Chain A
């Protein structure tokens, strides 16, 4: 599904990713851990097409396509979704309106019929129930005045509505209370399927108690320096990252 090959990339004018390799097959869940500033978000941003994050060498292949050639909105319609570490507030844009516009833009790109508002409402109501979301958040402008945890839950809710094929969650668990953590994990687990993959960036092993990863990687200084199974996350939790340098 995703093949990241020897990727070197800049954020702004600084080289952040320094020869990163990662292969994700359909249905797999990969967790990425690593120290602050290692380049984890830069990786997510590169895949989603954020401005000022640019590839200098290497390649990213997604479902047989050169991912980095596509516009951000094309990547989204092809099934790539990034749950942001810091979701932006967009005053004046209603959450529901935004989501329906997003969904129908994706459907249009894929040559599907747009969803009318009744259909959309029905679908959204079900998702709200599934994900235990507060529905009043949806009547408000996108992320405006949301608490840190509410913003993260809104990202997961968007993921639930848009049903991506490759979801990248960038520290979606940070700042969540214990109940919210479970809700987020449930959201991911409900979406898990043989043709859907996840990259979960996290600092905490506890999320991985709820979402069983197939692989755990350590990203340090722009590269994957170690890969393993869930046991690696436990080791990191106990010992930090220092021992990796030894």
Chain B
């Protein structure tokens, strides 16, 4: 069933008026926007049965918002905590701007700095990326200079958006060689579609913490592309819970050798939610390492889709890959799909992967109970310890 234009508009939201691109945007991006608008107008209204939406109940994209979700902003207290709020209105600093940090609206970025973001897997599933390309509202261009070498300094971006319409954001992160920093992203919006490009310089050590604990009706669709240069070291931690729909895709690519990408996800879907977590690591260079750990918990009628894919290209020898997906179902109606995938075209590759779906370990629960801990509390303790395994930073 192909959606008529007006029907499609309810979920296409941001593309409806063909938002104009910022003045600095290059021609290729303008072309992409036009193509995206074309593509969207012929795309059918999303439906949960469609494979392209990975079992996420994307009918929810069309849902009307009813609840008022007033976001609460954290107040930065420490000296090494920089807070920037990103919204439809642009960028707002909530702390002093350190010398080594530049954050500007993406609309002010020079044409030469624009990076293309192209998903290389699940091509049939890029509706939201296309949507993002079609309507570009804002986002940031964030640059960390090489002299920043305090890994404890947190630069926090808070994405805030209230209301029925989708906020489309596009970010670009540029982390200079050998810098050390923590970048935290917190989503408190109602409907956000976020595409990000990360360029991590040689020897940079970056911690990334992404928190998406959503209100029951909120939705978040995210696509990241990250490139790691020689010897870069990225630890990325993703904490997600609830919301009506969360659809996360990450694509990681190595541009040099000796780099490491370590990722942890904790996906908690306990209030009848849909969370989709797709990671695609492309080992197209020699001697890089990736570790992807997911811990997911689904309750009630929630659904979680987990996919960790690693592609090792011809000649990318000495690649090391670990994929560890574990899942717990807390109710009979919950569903979890969990899929580790390895596609290896090189020799001398060390790869390990595993995926399990189960209930809480009965023997461990009994051990706790046998010491006097009530079953409900024993369960909570076990869930906490299960989550801990994915805590990479």
Contact = CB atoms under 8 A, between A and B. Distances in A.
Nearest to B365: A51
A122 B91 CA distance: 52
Given A51-B366, A88-B364, A105 B384 contact: no
B198 interface: no
Contact of B385 (A84, A90, A105, A106): A90
Contacts of A71: 369, 374-375
A49 interface: yes
A240 interface: no
B356 interface: no
B388 A91 contact: yes
A87 B367 contact: yes
B370 A101 contact: no
A71 B375 CA distance: 9
Interface string A105-147: 1100100000000000000000000000000000001100000
B27 interface: no
Contacts of A84: 367, 370
Contacts of A98: 368, 371, 381
B39 interface: no
A91 to B, nearest CB: 6
A105 B381 contact: no
Contact of B372 (A73, A141, A142): A73
A224 interface: no
B365 to A, nearest CB: 8
A9 interface: no
B374 A105 contact: yes
Contacts of A51: 362, 366
A72 B369 contact: yes
B393 interface: no
Contacts of B114: none
B385 A76 contact: no
Nearest to B361: A88
A17 interface: no
Contacts of A180: none
Interface residues of B, number: 24
Nearest to A78: B372
B385 A91 contact: yes
A142 B388 CA distance: 14
Interface in B346-388: 361-364, 366-375, 377-378, 381-382, 384-388
B389 A105 contact: no
A162 B372 contact: yes
A162 B371 contact: yes
Contacts, number: 78
Contacts of B371: 73, 76, 98-99, 102, 158, 162
Contacts of B372: 73, 76-77, 102-103, 105-106, 109, 162
Given A93-B381, A101-B377, A101-B381, A76 B388 contact: no
A244 interface: no
A73 B375 CA distance: 8
Nearest to A73: B369
A156 to B, nearest CB: 13
Contacts of A93: 381-382, 384-385
Q: Which of B361, B364, B369, B371 has the most CB of A within 10 A?
A: B371
A234 interface: no
Interface in A78-105: 81-82, 84, 87-88, 90-93, 98-99, 101-103, 105
A92 B368 contact: no
Contacts of A141: 385
Nearest to A141: B385
Interface in A13-40: none
Nearest to B378: A73
A72 B384 CA distance: 21
Contact of B389 (A82, A88, A92, A142): A92
Interface of A: 48-51, 71-73, 75-77, 81-82, 84, 87-88, 90-93, 98-99, 101-103, 105-106, 109, 141-142, 158, 162
25 contacts: A49-B369, A49-B370, A50-B366, A71-B375, A72-B369, A73-B372, A75-B370, A77-B372, A82-B370, A88-B363, A90-B364, A90-B367, A90-B382, A91-B388, A91-B389, A92-B384, A93-B384, A93-B385, A98-B368, A98-B381, A105-B372, A106-B372, A142-B367, A162-B371, A162-B372
Question: Which 6 residue pairs of A and B lie closest in terms of their CB atoms, listed nearest first?
Answer: A92-B385, A92-B388, A102-B371, A76-B372, A106-B372, A72-B369
Interface of B: 361-364, 366-375, 377-378, 381-382, 384-389
Given A76-B369, A91-B389, 17 more contacts: A51-B366, A71-B374, A72-B369, A73-B370, A73-B378, A75-B370, A82-B370, A84-B370, A88-B361, A88-B367, A90-B382, A91-B388, A92-B386, A92-B387, A102-B372, A105-B374, A162-B371
